[in-house]
Amino acid sequence: MAHHFKIKKNKAGEFVAYFMYNAEPIFWTEGYSSKANAKNAIESIKKNGPDAETVDES
């Protein structure tokens, strides 16, 4: 299971969705008040991410 999403609670008790590669977090969302909202964020990333363009601001 190299790439996967993980939902965890942060110290504030909010649900955070993490995109993981092996055991390392690659990126994560803001904290959500419900697990359903964190799951919605994951679904949005899956749906909209493949077509997202890369913007280089360097």
Structure-model confidence comparison of residues 25 and 2, the more confident one? 25
**Going by C-beta distance under 8 Å and a sequence separation of 6 or more, which residues neighbour residue 16?**
7, 8, 9, 10, 28, 29, 30, 31, 32, 38
Domains in the chain, number: 1
**CATH number, domain with residue 42:** 3.30.160.160
Q: Is residue 39 part of a domain?
A: yes
Q: Is residue 13 part of a domain?
A: yes
- Please identify which residue in the block is written with the tokens 């994951």: 42
The string of pLDDT tens digits covering residues 27-56 is 999 999 999 999 999 999 999 998 899 999
The string of pLDDT tens digits covering residues 6-24 is 999 999 999 999 999 998 9
Q: Whole-prediction pTM value? A: 0.85
Q: Is residue 58 part of a domain?
A: no
Q: Cα 52 to chain center, whole Å?
A: 15
Question: Containing domain of residue 22, as a range?
Answer: 3-49
Q: Is residue 56 part of a domain?
A: no
Nearest CA to 11 out of 31, 38, 28 is that of 31
Do the Cβ atoms of 48 and 41 come closer than 8 Å? Answer: no
Residue 2 pLDDT: 86
Q: Is residue 54 part of a domain?
A: no
Residue 43 pLDDT: 96
